[in-house]
Amino acid sequence: MVNGKKLAEETAMPSVLEDDDAGAESEKLQLGEVGRRPSSQVGKATTVDIRQPRASWTEVGVRGPEDGPSSLDGNDQDRGEQEGEEEDEELGGEESVISDEDYDTDLELGGIEEEAYDPSGQARYMEACEMLQVVPASYFLRHVKDSELNMMHRGLGAQGAKALAVPLVTNTSILRLNLRDNWMEGLGGAAIAEMLKENCYITEVDLSNNNLGDDGARAIAGMLKENSTLVRLNLSGNHFTDRAAEFLGPALVTNAKLQHLDMSHNALREQAGQILGEALSENTGLRSISLAWNSLRGRGAVMLADGLGGNISLRAVDLSFNGFGKEGAVALGQALKENNVLEELDVSNNRIPPEGAVRLAAGLKVNKTIKSLNMSRNPIQNAGCYGILKSVLENKDSAMEALDFASIIVNKDFEELHAKVKEILPALTISHGGRIGAFGTAKA
């Protein structure tokens, strides 16, 4: 009996061991499942910033709302929460408040597993839209392989701009990007700026009328310090203040590739004029700049004009609809004496009086490069127009081809002087607000 009992126990042991091995193997399989994402989630980890634990304006979680923490029991989840609380205590609660320093928008796309080479970025765009819960723009999918992508007035918003930035990082077709009027604000503008740090194909970008604000300007400035392919940039109508100039000024000193910049229709004031004046005096890349429809006046206007005097690359400058006044006009006159590259200058609607126009004309007596001068809609009267035209006549090396005195009434004396100038410069065209007749002699 003893031998039979022992034999029975020995016979039963393999089955028990087999059950234990099977259980262990099953446990290993379950643990393996925890370490792996479901196949339905592969390729859906497109994130704008997945770095932890730093807070980020463009941070998108790797897991969707339906993906809860996987665990063999409820204790793992509890431990995760406890560890998260300990990390929060170590960080001192910094993640609860997003400060200027936390405005980080790196486009880290390491979570996406690419099954095939996708130079257009269509697959990434769809994944990004799903992660950010935005509706994909069918127009983008249809034109993603074009050389020019025009998506103005599409209502993208901040999230839509972030989704769009993801595929554009690797897109090799689009050279000109128009995102005008999409209300992307600083968050969306920062995502586009981060994209432009990586993309080396896009040469022209229009971000006008997007309410980027000063935070968006900071992101754009950071991009300009690194980007080496962008040639044309439109930042018009983005509510930039003098603080935006503090960011953009140093960027313009560093960047020598950008050739055309539009910062019109913003809220740049006196301090911005000083900062941008210093930047333009050192910039060597810009060919044209528009600062129209701002509030550049006083000391800011003078400093900006001084900067133009020292610039060696600008060909066209638009300063219309500001407040240069007499002081600014005097500074511009001095700048024209020093500058030997500027060809087009627009100072219309700047409240320049006759005395200011005459002082500006002093620069035209020696300038050899100016071809077009727009002085329209300034209260310079006939005397100011006469003084400018007389300076052109006295400059034997003048390159002037067009003078614009629109809405300014001139008299017979101006017309007579115009006839003399036409004999010397037959190609010169002059526009004005009409002649009122010879009621007096104009004295400049």
| pLDDT (mean) for 75-103 | 44
Lowest mean pLDDT: which of 46-60, 108-122, 229-243?
46-60
Mean pLDDT across the chain, nearest whole number?
82
Q: Whole-angstrom Cα distance, residue 409 to residue 435? A: 6
**Does position 70 have pLDDT exceeding 80, yes or no?**
no
CB 267 within 8 A of CB 239: yes
Q: Whole-angstrom Cα distance, residue 226 to residue 191? A: 15
Burial 279-318 (b: 16+ CB within 10 A, else e): bbbebebbbbbbbbbbbbbbebbbbbbbbbbebeebbbbb
Chain center to CA of 174: 17
What pLDDT is stored for residue 314 in this prediction? 98
Phi, psi of 365 (to 5 degrees): -65, -25
**Closest among 114, 116, 151 to 136, alpha carbons compared:** 151
Q: Tell me how long the chain is.
A: 444
Lowest mean pLDDT: which of 92-101, 146-155, 265-274, 323-332?
92-101
**Does position 248 have pLDDT exceeding 80, yes or no?**
yes
At 442, is the pLDDT very low, low, confident or very high (cuts 50, 70, 90)? very low
Count Cα neighbours of 99 within 13 Å in the Cβ-side half-sphere. 5
Characterise 406 by phi-psi region: left (phi > 0), alpha (psi -120 to 50), beta (else): beta
pLDDT digits (tens, 9 = 90+) for 423-434: 999 999 999 999
Lowest mean pLDDT: which of 88-92, 129-133, 392-396, 399-403?
88-92
Structural tokens at position 413: 């004396």
What pLDDT is stored for residue 275 in this prediction? 98
Phi, psi of 258 (to 5 degrees): -65, 130
**Closest among 87, 37, 91, 85 to 62, alpha carbons compared:** 37
**Does position 100 have pLDDT exceeding 90, yes or no?**
no
What pLDDT is stored for residue 119 in this prediction? 80
Percent of the chain with pLDDT strictly greater than 70: 72
At 106, is the pLDDT very low, low, confident or very high (cuts 50, 70, 90)? low
What pLDDT is stored for residue 437 in this prediction? 57
What pLDDT is stored for residue 269 in this prediction? 97
| pLDDT (mean) for 179-184 | 98
In this predicted model, which residue has the larger pLDDT, 31 or 393? 393
Percent of the chain with pLDDT strictly greater than 90: 70
Helix (H, G, I), strand (E, B) or coil at 410: strand
183-432 — its CATH code?
3.80.10.10
| pLDDT (mean) for 232-240 | 98
What pLDDT is stored for residue 116 in this prediction? 58
Helix (H, G, I), strand (E, B) or coil at 242: helix
10 Å Cβ neighbour count for 129?
A: 22
Structural tokens at position 98: 């997003």
Q: Whole-angstrom Cα distance, residue 351 to residue 380? A: 8
Structural tokens at position 260: 């055309």
Chain center to CA of 300: 23
User: Would the pTM count as exceeding 0.85?
Assistant: no
**Does position 435 have pLDDT exceeding 70, yes or no?**
yes
Strands 372-374 and 288-290: unpaired
Whether the bond between 353 and the residue before it is cis, its omega within 30 degrees of 0, is no
Q: Say which residues have a Cβ less than 8 Å from residue 188's Cβ, sequence separation at least 6.
A: 156, 157, 158, 159, 160, 161, 162, 182, 210
| pLDDT (mean) for 120-145 | 94
At 144, is the pLDDT very low, low, confident or very high (cuts 50, 70, 90)? very high
Identify the DSSP state of 245.
Answer: H
Place of tokens 């980007």: 227
Chain center to CA of 228: 14
Structural tokens at position 102: 């936390």
C-alpha distances (whole Å) from 145 to each of 43, 141, 200 are 22, 8, 16
In this predicted model, which residue has the larger pLDDT, 80 or 339? 339
CB 369 within 8 A of CB 343: yes
CB 335 within 8 A of CB 369: no
Q: Is 40 exposed, middle or buried (0-12, 13-18, 19+ CB in 10 A)?
A: exposed
What pLDDT is stored for residue 95 in this prediction? 39
Place of tokens 């301090």: 271
Q: Whole-angstrom Cα distance, residue 329 to residue 323? A: 10
Q: Whole-angstrom Cα distance, residue 106 to residue 54? A: 12
At 26, is the pLDDT very low, low, confident or very high (cuts 50, 70, 90)? very low
pLDDT digits (tens, 9 = 90+) for 293-324: 999 999 999 999 999 999 999 999 999 999 99
